[in-house]
Amino acid sequence: SRMSSAGASLIFTPTIESMYPPSHSTYVDPRLGESTPEGRSRPGFFTGVSTVVVKLLNIVRPTRAYFGQKDAVQCSVVRRVVKDLNIPADVVVVPTVREPDGLAMSSRNAYLTDEGRSAAPVVYRSLVAGEAAWVEGLGGRGGGVPAGR
């Protein structure tokens, strides 16, 4: 009902087995993502992302595919893969959807420990507080946050 209230008339939810049967052996290897700090620290991550995105776009054949801006490198990699492989879909980057405590919604959150999940929103709150302090610093002094603040 939540999806239909958002305007969806059909939801595609393939199983892992249908996406990656035992005979599956082809992967999309984007060189762009692997050269980033995130790519170097997570070998194969962007290959997995690119492969599943290409598979889904080829199966569903949408005119637009929406990605949250929470992962800028991932969005860049997906845009490049779609362009390089001539996939006729527009990649649209949309604002990040967040949990009530500020944590960005992500399937990767399932991998967080209870302690990690409790601590994770601190990053977002710190960024918001830093932005507010910077904007406040611009208010009367015209130059960002003073050193040591």
pLDDT tens-digit profile of 40-56? 888 888 999 999 999 99
How confident is the model at residue 4, as a pLDDT? 81
The mean pLDDT value for 76-80 works out to: 94
Element (H, E) at 94: strand 90-94
Give the separation between CA 121 and CA 92, rounded to whole angstroms. 25
pLDDT at 149 over 50: no
Q: What is the per-residue pLDDT for 146?
A: 52
Please tell me the pTM assigned to this model: 0.74
Report pLDDT digits (tens) over 83-142: 999 999 999 999 988 999 999 888 888 999 999 999 999 988 998 888 888 888 765 555
Backbone angles phi, psi at 48, to 5 degrees: -65, -45
